[in-house]
Amino acid sequence: MQKNTYAEQLLDPRWQKKRLEILDYFNFQCEICGDDKSTLHVHHKRYIRGRKVWEYENKQLACLCKICHSNQHDSEHKFDELIGHIQLDGPNNKDDVYFLIAGFINYEVNISNAKEEKLYQIGNEISDWWVKK
């Protein structure tokens, strides 16, 4: 079985057909800002290993202008950064999540150590970025 690169898949007629289907469904307008003058992108909301770009259900794709598409990826990277601070290998995961979320929503909590303070600050910084975007 031949494995195409992502760039090659974007040139495939099956992707071109799927892309036009999505653009048409959203009346050639950005789902977020309504822009109908800029170049539009079809955004994969998430990728599934081994799946070709045209093998996604329509609900897994979005129609976005260039700016909103870039902002969407920035948001995803920030969210991944936030989640990356949660340890997945210990009994204190609930506490880590609690302090990250508390910081994100600026919820007043009792902080008793440096780790809790750091997690709270990370959540707070990402919240500040989120609001400014």
Name the residue ranges covered by the structural domains of the chain: 6-72, 85-132
The DSSP secondary-structure symbol of 59 reads G
Q: Is the pLDDT of residue 27 over 60?
A: yes
pLDDT at residue 49 is higher than 70: yes
By mean pLDDT, which of 48-52, 63-67, 96-100 is the weakest?
96-100
With bands split at pLDDT 50, 70 and 90, how would you rate the model's confidence at 129?
Answer: low
Segment holding 16, helix H or strand E: helix 13-25
The pLDDT of residue 133? 52
CATH class for the region spanning 6-72: alpha beta
pTM above 0.75, yes or no: no
Please report which confidence band the pLDDT of residue 84 belongs to, taking 50, 70 and 90 as the band edges. Answer: confident
Q: How confident is the model at residue 101 (pLDDT cuts 50, 70, 90)?
A: confident
Average pLDDT over residues 23-51: 93
DSSP 77-121: HHHHHHHHTS-SSSTTHHHHHHHHHHHHTT------SHHHHHHHH
Residue 5 contacts by C-beta under 8 Å, 6 or more apart in sequence? none
94 burial (CB, 10 Å; 0-12 / 13-18 / 19+) is exposed
How far is the C-alpha of 85 from the C-alpha of 67, rounded, in Å? 28
